[in-house]
Amino acid sequence: MNKSKRITAKTEGPVESPAGGHPVPNEKWIVRIGQLEDVLAVCPSDILAGSELATLLEQLGQPGKALCHWNAVLACDPNSLKAREGVARCRQRASPCSLDCEKNHAHDLGPS
Cβ neighbours of 15 (radius 10 Å): 11
Of 87, 91, 82, the residue nearest 71 (C-alpha): 87
In the chain, the domains with their CATH numbers are 27-109 (1.25.40.10)
How would you write the pLDDT of the chain (112 residues) with one tens digit per residue? Answer: 444 444 443 444 443 443 445 666 788 889 999 999 999 999 999 999 999 999 999 999 999 999 999 999 999 999 999 999 999 999 998 876 655 555 555 444 444 3
Name the nearest CA neighbour of 68 among 60, 58, 78, 59: 58
- Global confidence as pTM: 0.68
